[in-house]
Amino acid sequence: MSDSPPRASSGLRWSNWNLLLLVPLVILITPLWNFRGPAFLGMPFFYWSQLAFVIVGVISVGIVYVKTKNEPVNRDLPDLLSVDDLDEGESK
Amino acid sequence: MQWTEFIIFLILFLAVTVLGFVAARWKAGNTLDHLDEWGLGGRKFGSWVTWFLIGGDLYTAYTFVAVPALVFGVGATGFYALPYTVIAYPLVFLPLLRMWSVSRVHGYVTPADYVRGRYGSPLLALLVAITGIVATMPYIALQLVGLESVLRTMGINGSGILGHLPLFIAFLVLALYTYQSGLRAPALIAFVKDILIYLVIIVAIVYLPSKLGGWGHIFTLADAKFTKAGSGGILLNGNNSLQYITLAFGSALALFLYPHSVTGVLASRGRNVIKRNMVALPAYSMLLGLLAMLGFVAIAAGTPALVNQATGRADTNTIIPNLFDTQFPPWFAGIAFAAIGIGALVPAAIMSIAAANLWTRNIYKEYFKKSATPAQEAKQAKLASLVVKLGAVLFIVLLDPQYSIDLQLIGGIIILQTLPTVAISLYTRWFHRWALIAGWVAGLAWGFFMLWAIPNPATNHAHFGGSNLPLKSLSIFGWHPFPGSPVQIYVGFIALIGNFVVAAIVTWILRARKVSNGVDSTQVEDYHAEEGDPRLKEVGVH
C-alpha cells in the first residue's frame, strides 16, 4: 500500500526515499534465515539473524524519516542526493 | 501463597493506581468534557509520550505470556511475532501520516469517523465501528487472562467465582481511573509499565540462560523435546513456512487497523512525532523477540504449566510467570509480575477508550442522539468505557477463557477485513462504498467459516482450533485448488484476498452502472496537513 505510483489526482506526494520502506519486507523471505548455523552465543542463525534484522528495519525507516521530515517533498525535482547513505537500500 | 512477590506486586500496583488518578491533571486542557481531551489526551502527545503510549498499547500482557507460551509449545512458528512487528511500522509509515492529517483537519476521533467523511456513508462507518468493537472486546478480556495468570502463579489460585475476585478488584480500580482521567491515565502509567518490562526482560535474557547452561544448551534441549514429541521444531519446515510468512504479514497489516492503535496515533502532536515513533518502536520488537525465546528457556528449565483452579485444566499461559517464579529470587519475581500485571492495565484502558469512542461517535451520536454536544459525547464515552470493562470481566468470570482466545483469533481476522475501507481509501476512492460493504461481508463470512472448520486436537475442540488452514482444505465453492497439500496458511490472509476480489468485481459493476459513490467531504490537501497548519481543527472546542 505504501508503494503506489505517484498520481496527481490522488494528491500523492512521493519521495524516492520511501522505497526504503520496502527493505524490511526482506525478513519475510524465510529461506534466507531458516538455518541452524552459524550460531551466535549458542542461538541458531534463524533467531539471531532475525533479531539483527530489527536494526536493518530501524535504519531503513530512520533514513526515510530524516530525508522526508521537511515536507512537502517537491515531486518535480530529480533525486540528486548522494548514494552513500543508501547502503541499506542497495542490499535489496 | 508467595508473600514477598505479592507485597512487591501490590506496592507497584498501588503506585500506578495513584498515577492513574493524578493523570487527570497532567497536561490538562480547559476541560475534560470533550472526546479530544478524555479520549485522545488533548491530541498533543510528543515523541516520548507517544512512544511509551503506543508501545504500552501494542505490546500487551497477553502478548507477553502468549508469545513465549506459543514458542514453548510449537517452537519456531511462534517466533512469527518478530517479523510481524519488524514489517508493521514501515508498512503503515505513510498511510498513518495521511490518517493523522485528515483526522486532525476534520476532528475525527475514530477510524469510523474518517470512513464516514470519506464516503458519506454512515452504514459503512457503522460496520467499521462494529468490527472494531467486536475485535477489541475479546482483546480486553485477554488482558485479564494475562493478569490472572500472574495472580494464580503468586498463589491467588482460588476456585469458582471467588477465585476471580482479585481480578475483579483490579479491573474496578482500572475502570475508575480511566473514567476519571481518560487516555492520560494509560499514557502516564505506560512509562512505569514499559520501564519495568524492559528491566525484567533484559535481566531475564541475560540471567536465565547463564543459570541454565547457555543458549546452546537451551536450544539443544528444546530441539530434543520437539523431536521426541514429533511436532514443532526449532526451525521452520516445508509445511509451516508459508503460515509463518502470511501470519506475520497479515498480522502486520491488521495491527494499525485495531481502533486502540489508531487512538494512540491520533493522540500524537504531529506527523514528525509519528515518523520518529515508526523508527523507535521496533525497540519493543527486539524486546518481544527476546521474550519469545524465553519459551525455549522454559523448556530447558523444565517449567510446568500450572493448573487453573477455575477451569481445572493446565494453563500454558502460566509458563512464563511460573518460569519467573521458580528461577528468580522472590523480590525480582514480584517486580516481573507487576510488570506483566501493569502491562495488562495499560492496553485494557486504551482499548476500552477506543471502543467507547467508537460507540459514542459512530453509533450513539449517529443513531440515537444526533444533537449530542461534545460534553454529552464525553459523558457517554466515559460510561461506555465502564460497560466495556465490566463486560470483559463478566466474559472471563462466567465463560471459559477459551472463548476469549477463540474470539481474539476471530477478531484479528475480521479487523483485517476493514483494510480496503480504512487503509486503501486513504489513497484512492476507486473502490465503491457498496463494494466495500460486499467485500467486508464476503471476507468476514469466509474467514469465519474457515476458522470454524479448523479442529484443535490438543483440547479436543472441533472448532476454532487455530488460525492456520492446510491448503488441501481450501475450498472455493467446492473447488479445491490445492488437493492433498499439507502446507499451512493464515486464514486471515485468504479471507482478505477474497474480500479484495469481491470488492473489485462489485466496484466494476457499480461503476459501469454509474451508481453514486457518496460524497467525499475531505480534500486532497487535508491528507498532508502538518502540525501548526491553520486548517487544523481546534482541539477540545465546544
* Residues A49-63 pLDDT 10s: 999 999 999 999 999
Range of the domain at B232: 3-12+38-409
Is A80 inside any structural domain?
no
Overall number of domains in chain A: 1
Range of the domain at A57: 14-71
CA distance A81 to chain B (A): 21
Is B504 inside any structural domain?
no
DSSP H or E run through A57: helix A45-68
| pLDDT in the model for residue A71 | 61
Q: How many CB atoms within 10 Å of residue B20?
A: 24
- Determine contact, residues B41/B35, Cβ cutoff 8 Å: no
Is A52 inside any structural domain?
yes
Buried/exposed code over A4-33 (b: 16+ C-beta within 10 A; e: otherwise): eeeeeeeebeebebbbbbbbbbbbbebeeb
B375 touches chain A (CB under 8 A): no
Contact partners, residue B471, CB within 8 Å, separation at least 6: B481, B482, B485, B486, B487, B488, B489
Q: Which residue has the cell 520488537?
A: B285
**Quick one: cell of B167?**
481480578
| pLDDT in the model for residue A73 | 45
B86 touches chain A (CB under 8 A): yes
- Determine contact, residues A3/B95, Cβ cutoff 8 Å: no
Q: Does B86 contact A21 at a Cβ distance shorter than 8 Å?
A: no
Choose among B86, B245, B525: nearest Cβ to A30: B245
Is B436 inside any structural domain?
no
pLDDT band of residue A84 (cuts 50, 70, 90) is very low
Overall number of domains in chain B: 1
* Cis peptide bond N-terminal to B534, omega within 30: no
Choose among B82, B218, B279: nearest Cβ to A51: B82
Angle at B244 between CA B239 and CA B247, to 5 degrees: 125
Choose among A11, A21, A30: nearest Cβ to B525: A11
Q: Is the dihedral of CA A70, B281, B174, B22 positive or negative?
A: negative
Choose among A10, A46, A54: nearest Cβ to B427: A10
Choose among B83, B249, B279: nearest Cβ to A62: B279
Angle, in degrees to the nearest 10, between helices B271-280 and B282-301:
30
| pLDDT in the model for residue B542 | 62
DSSP H or E run through B307: strand B306-308
> Residue A77 has what DSSP assignment?
S
Q: Does B424 contact A1 at a Cβ distance shorter than 8 Å?
A: yes
| pLDDT per residue as tens digits for the range A8-45 | 444 667 788 889 999 999 999 988 888 887 989 889 99
Q: How far apart are CA A22 and CA A3, in angstroms?
A: 8
CA distance B521 to chain A (A): 14
CA distance B188 to chain A (A): 26
**Strand B306-308 to strand B468-470: parallel, antiparallel, or no bridges (unpaired)?**
unpaired
Among the listed residues B43, B31, B111, the one whose alpha carbon sits nearest the alpha carbon of residue B361 = B111
DSSP H or E run through B489: strand B488-490
CA distance A9 to chain B (A): 8
End-to-end alpha carbon distance in chain A: 19
CA-to-CA dists, residue A5 to A17, A25, B427, angstroms: 13, 18, 11
CATH assignment at residue B199: 1.20.1730.10
Is A89 inside any structural domain?
no
pTM: 0.89
**In tens digits, what is the pLDDT along chain B, a chain of 542 residues?**
778 888 999 999 999 999 989 888 887 777 778 899 999 988 989 999 999 999 988 888 888 888 898 899 889 998 999 999 999 999 999 999 999 999 999 999 999 999 999 999 999 999 999 999 999 988 888 888 888 888 888 887 777 677 778 888 888 899 999 999 999 999 999 999 999 999 999 999 899 999 898 999 999 999 999 999 888 889 998 888 998 999 999 999 999 999 999 999 999 999 999 999 999 999 899 989 999 999 999 999 988 887 777 667 777 888 888 899 899 999 999 999 999 989 888 999 999 999 999 999 999 999 998 888 989 999 999 999 999 988 888 877 777 777 777 777 788 898 999 999 999 999 999 999 999 999 999 999 999 889 888 887 666 677 787 788 888 888 888 888 888 888 889 999 999 999 999 999 999 999 999 988 888 999 888 998 888 888 888 887 76
Is B536 inside any structural domain?
no
Among the listed residues B537, B535, B50, the one whose alpha carbon sits nearest the alpha carbon of residue B272 = B50
> Residue A69 has what DSSP assignment?
S
Is A44 inside any structural domain?
yes
> Residue B367 has what DSSP assignment?
I
Is A66 inside any structural domain?
yes
Q: How far apart are CA A7 and CA B222, in angstroms?
A: 52
DSSP H or E run through B389: helix B374-398
Three-state SS for B488?
A: strand
Is A78 inside any structural domain?
no
Among the listed residues B414, B483, B71, B63, the one whose alpha carbon sits nearest the alpha carbon of residue B244 = B71
Is B441 inside any structural domain?
no
Among the listed residues B135, B101, B169, the one whose alpha carbon sits nearest the alpha carbon of residue B404 = B135
Q: SS in 3 state form for B203-272?
A: HHHHHHHHHCCHHHHHHHHHHHHHHHHCCCECCCCCCCHHHHHHHHHHHHHHHCCCHHHHHHHHCECCHH
A43 touches chain B (CB under 8 A): yes
B345 touches chain A (CB under 8 A): no
Q: How many CB pairs under 8 A join A and B?
A: 128
Q: Does B86 contact A53 at a Cβ distance shorter than 8 Å?
A: yes
Q: How far apart are CA B275 and CA B277, in angstroms?
A: 5
Contact partners, residue B13, CB within 8 Å, separation at least 6: B170, B338, B341, B342
pLDDT band of residue A92 (cuts 50, 70, 90) is very low
| pLDDT in the model for residue B458 | 65
Q: How far apart are CA B172 and CA B389, in angstroms?
A: 8
Residues of B in contact with A21 (CB under 8 A): 90-91, 93-94
Is B414 inside any structural domain?
no
Q: Above 0.90 for ipTM, yes or no? A: no
Paired strand residues for B476 = B479
Paired strand residues for B306 = B315
Residue type, B71: V
Q: How far apart are CA B510 and CA B63, in angstroms?
A: 42
Give which of B215, B257, B523 to mutate to test A binding, by max A Cβ within 10 Å: B215
